[in-house]
Amino acid sequence: MEEDLEPEKKRTRGLGTKVATSRPRATALTTVPQTQGQTAVPKVPRKTGPRCSAAIATVLKNQKPGPAVPAQKPGTTAAPPVVGRKKPSKRPAWDLKGQLCDLNAELKCCRERTQMLDQENQQLRNQLREAQQQATALGTERRTLEEELARMRAQAEQGQQELGNLSTRVLELEERLGTQEGLVQELQKEQLELQEERRGLAAQLEEQERRLQASEAALSGSQAELASLRQEAAAQADLLAKREERLHGLEMERRRLHNQLQELKGNVRVFCRVRPVLPGESTPPPGFLLFPSGPSGPSDPPTRLSLSRSDERRGTLSGAPAAPTRHDFSFDRVFPPGSGQDEVFEEISMLVQSALDGYPVCIFAYGQTGSGKTFTMEGGPGGDPQVEGLIPRALRHLFSVAQELSGQGWTYSFVASYVEIYNETVRDLLATGTRKGHGGECEIRRAGPGSEELTVTNARYVPVSCEREVEALLHLARQNRAVARTAQNERSSRSHSVFQLQISGEHAGRGLQCAAPLSLVDLAGSERLDPGLALGPGERERLRETQAINSSLSTLGLVIMALSNKESHVPYRNSKLTYLLQNSLGGSAKMLMFVNISPLEENVSESLNSLRFASKVNQCVIGTAQANRK
């Protein structure tokens, strides 16, 4: 505020100085020059305005005409006019010259006086102008002062207002002070409480410290114990490493022994499975099919099957029907009609284990149409887990064993493919999109030049890692088969379905690898065409199909024989089926054939054919299998 005021003061002071300095000048202005016969002009008062003009008027009034200059006689030097001297006495009337002279002198005097008065007038005008200028300046100054006064008033008002505000604020602050004081009191109370609490805590702390000391004592004891435990852990880790090493050795030994056991059981095994009589089918006569028990009695799993056939063409001399002929067969295992899917799978789960161990495994289902091949391989209808077939069971088993082996450092991967061989053409059963059901023809080729591995062109190879994925694939295959089905021909029974799973295992820690295919084959119906049938266009087609089937099935038999006899040439190329399966058959592979038999008497002829074929296969022993290990 003071700072604001300061320039005003300065300004006022400056003005004051100006006014003060103008004063002597005003005095100078009022000094009228003294002339002869003139009285001194009184000093003009300092104030200007009307008063100043009055002073000037007074000056002019006081100026009396000067004394007449006495006329000089011609030829004489005119005496200088004497101011205040008495006028010369009046000239005689005749002295015209003298009078004239006087008048001239007087005129001259008047002129001088007029001149003087003009000068004075001029001076006074100048003074007046100056006075007016001064008046103007003073007016300006007055206005400035008035403005300043107004400003000061405004400031004063503002000050008043501020004062009012400050008073309000003071009131507020006082109020707050009151509140704060209340707060302070509360805080003091709280402080007291806290002090009390602190005392309690200090007591607790003391207690804790006491306990801590005790704990520290215990800790040092524990540390000693820990050190000894660490030593023990190191010893245990050492032991564990040794055990792991031993476990690995045992696993390898298990694989070897497992393989030996499988070889002892035979690298080519044949299981016979007789399906139950279905609702609506005529029950066969008693004794038609018999399952004699093994050497150790009924507790032994059956391995033999006896089938009786009454040949109506053979008659006795007396005309009585000939006694039925018994045909006995012996296999690695026989499953009578009541055998469940789980029972069947148990027998083959060992083979699935061999596949994981790196041995190629091939499982076939052979038999006439309707004998239960698809039931055995894929399972019964309705998705009932009880009737699940070998394919889903085998895969579930594989996934779970692979999971167990992961604990020993093994990592497994599985890639599935599913194709159908119909009339010597290969079709992808996993085809999707536009190829679904019609999938373009596929070809069996070597995976690469010089490679042993075979691959089916245009077929999908799907990596699988859980049951759900396998179920989805089987569902897709069923859909693809349904699309291809025609009214005349149940094509699926006229074609071979080959499900292949490429198993690859790796033990990164030990640099071990194993790989082997597991093939599960639902073969085409093995029934022969009735030679007495008239050959219509449909039958001709049927004949062609049957010939293709028979040819490929007999090639399969020949391949197995050739392998068994260790012949130098194995006719794999004679059929698409054996060509595709060649890596799952040879010396390093394990083969299992299910011969599926119908329990019906009307199928006896086909059953006998199947059993004979299976018996031949059963006589085969294929060289010692070797795991595909690297």
Q: Is 369 annotated as a binding residue?
A: yes
> Which of 360/372 has CB closer to Mg ion?
372
Q: How far lies 113's CA from each of 26, 33, 42, 507, 549, in Å?
A: 25, 13, 19, 148, 169
Number of shown-chain residues binding ligand ADP (CB under 6 A): 14
Dist CA 588 CA 360 (whole Å): 7
Q: How far lies 344's CA from each of 271, 394, 493, in Å?
A: 9, 11, 22
> Which of 247/277 has CB closer to ligand ADP?
277
> Which of 417/493 has CB closer to Mg ion?
493
Q: Is 373 annotated as a binding residue?
A: yes
For ligand ADP, the binding residues in 260-319 under the rule CB under 6 A are 275-276, 278
> Which of 307/515 has CB closer to ligand ADP?
307
Query: Is residue 596 a contact point for ligand ADP (CB under 6 A)?
Result: yes
> Which of 373/590 has CB closer to Mg ion?
373
Query: Is residue 70 a contact point for ligand ADP (CB under 6 A)?
Result: no
> What residue 367 binds from Mg ion, ligand ADP, none (CB within 5 to 8 A, per partner kind)?
ligand ADP
384: DSSP letter: -
Instruction: Quickly tell me which residue has 């008062």 as its tokens.
Output: 45
Min separation Cβ 398 and Mg ion, Å? 23
Helix (H) or strand (E) holding 282: none
Query: Is residue 257 a contact point for ligand ADP (CB under 6 A)?
Result: no
Min separation Cβ 476 and ligand ADP, Å? 19
Strands 268-274 and 333-335: parallel
Contact 442, 428 (CB under 8 A): yes
> What residue 380 binds from Mg ion, ligand ADP, none (CB within 5 to 8 A, per partner kind)?
ligand ADP
Min separation Cβ 373 and ligand ADP, Å? 3
Q: What angle do CA 50, 54, 57 make, to 5 degrees?
A: 140
Q: Is 164 annotated as a binding residue?
A: no
Contact 272, 597 (CB under 8 A): yes
Min separation Cβ 522 and Mg ion, Å? 6
Dist CA 5 CA 151 (whole Å): 10
Near ligand ADP by CB under 6 A, which window of 153-161, 369-377, 426-434, 551-559? 369-377
Query: Is residue 379 a contact point for ligand ADP (CB under 6 A)?
Result: no
410 phi and psi angles, rounded to 5 deg: -90, 135
Contact 417, 456 (CB under 8 A): yes
Min separation Cβ 413 and ligand ADP, Å? 31
Q: Is 204 annotated as a binding residue?
A: no
Of the residues 70, 370, 392, 439, which one makes contact with ligand ADP according to CB under 6 A:
370
Q: What residue type is 285 in one-letter code?
A: P
What residue spans of 410-524 are helical by DSSP H? 467-484
Cβ neighbour number for residue 493 with a 10 Å cutoff:
18
Dist CA 390 CA 342 (whole Å): 9
Q: Is 43 annotated as a binding residue?
A: no
Near ligand ADP by CB under 6 A, which window of 109-117, 306-314, 371-379, 420-428? 371-379
Q: Is 372 annotated as a binding residue?
A: yes
517 phi and psi angles, rounded to 5 deg: -90, 145
What residue spans of 266-309 are helical by DSSP H? none
Q: Coil, strand or helix: which one is 521?
A: strand
> What residue 460 binds from ligand ADP, Mg ion, none (CB within 5 to 8 A, per partner kind)?
none
Contact 417, 462 (CB under 8 A): yes
492: DSSP letter: G
Dist CA 41 CA 29 (whole Å): 12
> Which of 66/302 has CB closer to ligand ADP?
302
> Which of 106/420 has CB closer to ligand ADP?
420
Which residues pair with residue 418 across a beta bridge? 499
> Which of 24/279 has CB closer to ligand ADP?
279
For ligand ADP, the binding residues in 464-493 under the rule CB under 6 A are 493
If we measure between CA atoms, which residue out of 527, 597, 604, 595 comes closest to residue 309? Answer: 604
> Which of 496/576 has CB closer to Mg ion?
496
Of the residues 37, 66, 372, 439, which one makes contact with ligand ADP according to CB under 6 A:
372
345 phi and psi angles, rounded to 5 deg: -65, -35
Dihedral, CA of residue 346, residue 308, residue 530 and residue 571, to nearest 10:
50
Query: Is residue 526 a contact point for ligand ADP (CB under 6 A)?
Result: no
Residue with the CB atom nearest ligand ADP in the bound state: 372
> What residue 371 binds from Mg ion, ligand ADP, none (CB within 5 to 8 A, per partner kind)?
ligand ADP
> Which of 259/546 has CB closer to ligand ADP?
546
Query: Is residue 369 a contact point for ligand ADP (CB under 6 A)?
Result: yes
Min separation Cβ 494 and Mg ion, Å? 10
Q: How far lies 167's CA from each of 153, 156, 157, 162, in Å?
A: 20, 16, 15, 8
Query: Is residue 371 a contact point for ligand ADP (CB under 6 A)?
Result: yes
> Which of 369/575 has CB closer to ligand ADP?
369
For Mg ion, the binding residues in 485-524 under the rule CB under 5 A are 493
Contact 75, 93 (CB under 8 A): no
Instruction: Quickly tell me which residue has 């194709």 as its tokens.
Output: 419
Query: Is residue 367 a contact point for ligand ADP (CB under 6 A)?
Result: yes
Dist CA 255 CA 250 (whole Å): 8
Instruction: Quickly tell me which residue has 């139950």 as its tokens.
Output: 276
Min separation Cβ 419 and ligand ADP, Å? 17
Residues 345-384, one symbol each (x = binds Mg ion by CB under 5 A, - = not), give ----------------------------xx----------
Instruction: Quickly tell me which residue has 């075979």 as its tokens.
Output: 454
Q: Is 12 annotated as a binding residue?
A: no
Min separation Cβ 373 and Mg ion, Å? 5
Binding site for ligand ADP (CB under 6 A): 275-276, 278, 367, 369-375, 380, 493, 596
- Which positions make up the binding site? 367-374
Residues forming the site for Mg ion (CB under 5 A): 373-374, 493
Q: Which positions make up the binding site for ATP?
A: 367-374
